[in-house]
Structure 1
Amino acid sequence: MKIQEKITLFFVIIATTGLILVNGAIFYFVSSFTFEDFFKRLEARVNLSAEINVHPDSRSEAYQHVRSRYLEKLDNEQDYVSKMDSGTQNTFKKPLPLPDKFYNEIIGTGKARYNEGNHFYAGSFFKTEQGNYIVIVAAEDPYGFKELEQLKKVLLIVFAISILLTYIAGKIFSYYTIKPVRSIIRSVKKISADNLNSRLTEVKGKDEIAELVLTFNNMLTRLETSFETQNNFVSNASHELRTPLTIITSEAELLLTNGNLSPTNGETVKTILSEAEKLVNILSSLLGMAQSGFNGKKQNWERIRMDELILTVADHVKKIEPKSILDVNFSNLPENESLLYTEGNANLLQLAVSNIILNACKYSNNNPVTISVGSENGRILIVVSDIGIGIPMDEQQHIFEPFFRASNTGDFEGHGIGLPLTLNIIRLHKGSIGIRSEEQVGTEIQIMLPVDSN
């Protein structure tokens, strides 16, 4: 879930919670006020009923006149007067089948209230010279309940409309909140190794967005410095390091051609020459790894047909390893020749594929190596398989780490640089490498490359 959606959801949840609490409080207080008002009206009628029925005198008719003339008649209004027995304490005939708690509260506190749904009851205790009485007035309040039902409907409608408006407000709020972040994302996506000198537009203020922009710009400055340092190394290391190695190699070859060396000294010079040549190879591979880390647009990219490149690489391997046996299989080529083209640097791709084929020849003691080219799921598929020593299962995850060599390669020369360099080159071309291997059975390496969209 995107941050904008999370903010909107969080906004709606907070607003919904607040609306539920507010609407609940409104309904609670309105219903409490409605019930309280109706009970007070009942209690006023209880007092009038007591004046009329418990204290009969000359004023009874006046109270009766006031009640009938000035007080509205409540729905199903009924008066109940019950005299308590004088001989037995708190004994009386219950005028209505109401809970004992209601009657006990009347006797204990002097008054009580009770309701069942829309039926309301108010009662009071009166003590006179003629005896003790309990007066109860019962009535219904349909209008109050209708008002509460109407209020409930209004609150639900207002709640639904408020949630909708809150959602819209949340979307607008989250959109403008995340807008600076989206702008940063768009700007960052445009920055690559070709334009590391670009910077994000600074934001005024001291908020988190301004701090994020400043952090990105500082990071880009560090990356630009790092890439420039690497670029300078690639540009200068070849000349600076190859020159002394060339001199050492030339001098060693000159000593060997003179023929004036003793056998012991001759072997020593041969060792120097061999190690110097190894050092040249290591240097070339290291420079290739550094070079393959750059953006491809600096590498003279072109449209490459991969079956032709495989043939070129096979000829190159034959010259390096004359004893190698290569079986180039083109039986899986797609009918559409455009699916064999990719975009990249031909020299780097030749280096990557030749590293894999040379490894297959070396670690299989020049047993037959099969190379096939095809198309799968809209991508170019190159498969190199051998019948060699294989790679231990627990070491396969490390073979693309620089300078790592499997435990069963002690009898073979190598430096652990070829496969890491190959992986860098394939990644540079937006491809991938897969491997399947079993000890003493062989190894299969699959290279997937994107088809050129042009």
Structure 2
Amino acid sequence: MTNTQHFGGWRRVFYGLRTRIIMWYVLLMTCSTTLTIFAVRQVLSVRLEERSKQILVQEITEFRQLLEGYREFGCCEVESLFDDFLSRNIPVNGEFMLSYIDGKFYKASPSALPEVLVRDRKLLNRWSRATKLEKGEKITPEDNIRYVVQPVNIDGQKPGVFVVIHSTESELRKLNEVTVVMVLVTLMVLIVAAVVIWAVGGRVLRPLRLLTATAQSISGSNVGKRIAVQGSDDIAELTITFNAMLDRLEAAFTSQRNFINDAGHELRTPITIIRGHLELLGDDPEEQKETLAIVTDELDRMSRLVNDLLLLAKAERPDFLNLEIVDVEVFTDELLAKAKALGDRHWYIESHAFCRIIADRQRLTQAMMNLAQNAVQHTKREDAIFLGSAAKNNQVFFWVRDTGEGISPKEQKRIFERFARVTNSRRRSEGYGLGLAIVKAIVEAHEGRVELQSELGKGSIFVLVLPLKLPGM
């Protein structure tokens, strides 16, 4: 393997369609998942803040209700107030309650405070001497603490302070753990999805690789490969289009090859004849006149051959036919009038079809005249030739029937091939054996077919079967 091929292989891996699809998928999924995780985390964080605030409000409200009750029943000892409230309320997770009397710490529930508060003596001292309601929060990298400070002033009693604290450290830790799990799960899902997409993408894009391989293997002598169509998606439609293109290329290559082979095969003889006579041309005027006649005749034959080959080559093109509406009855009479000039035979019309078809009048006339000329060449003067037309089952039939020598079953299989001649004929055809090939090409261009029935010694009948209305018209 050369370095260029090696580089090209790795380039297809990293820059191929399947790789780009996976990269775009991973990028889109990563962005969408990141946004989703961020949104979920934000929602949970907002809910966590709201819950923290609700806990503080609830505890302060309950404390104030108890304080009002004490005042109403005349119980004015601050110590009893703090003891009673702390004994009744069990702190939830992350909740702490402190009490101060006369600037000194009295009790806490639970007894262990967050490490952040233990280190912040200045904040604790400020709480112990608070004289008005205070709300605030202390945010650190590892914790988010919210608090409410409620002063307690009872006549004749030492001033007290009640503090409710809520720490979100444990909830934040759990939230971080959930976020990490979500990220890990997302990464695993992306990896598995990428592997699955790589495998599935290979199967989906397999027709494209076949298209590439088929296109690379096509040459002028090898255009017969086709790709199997699977499914009904865009790739299947592309495959159908590609196969149709190959059909057109194969038809064009075949037509070109046949033209070159046929022209080279048939033009060789007249060219040899012309060259031989010109090389032997002398000074005798009579001899020159005879040679000129021979050369002219050979050139006329070459011209007819080239025209016939060009006609067969053009039959593969979509613009081969000039379609128009043809009255079959009138057209049949026209065929008889033209055919009578081909030879002194007994000419008859067997039947008329009273309908109209969409066809190329000139091409169809050419096909029928070729059949009539063929009938003349294989009949005698006393023989009869019959022309006719009929319509049945959405088809139109044109035929030429003769009472001549007929064609053997073996010859019938090859009679429509190029340059084919009937070997058992008592007469030598004046053409090159392209007449029936031209008839077949014209009829097939009309999406029809040619049928032949013949028996030695009894004659032949050639039938052109055309659709009454061409598909798509």
TM-score w.r.t. structure 1 length?
0.43
- Larger of the two Rg values belongs to structure: 2
TM-score w.r.t. structure 2 length?
0.41
Structure of greater relative contact order (alpha carbons < 8 Å, 6+ residues apart):
1
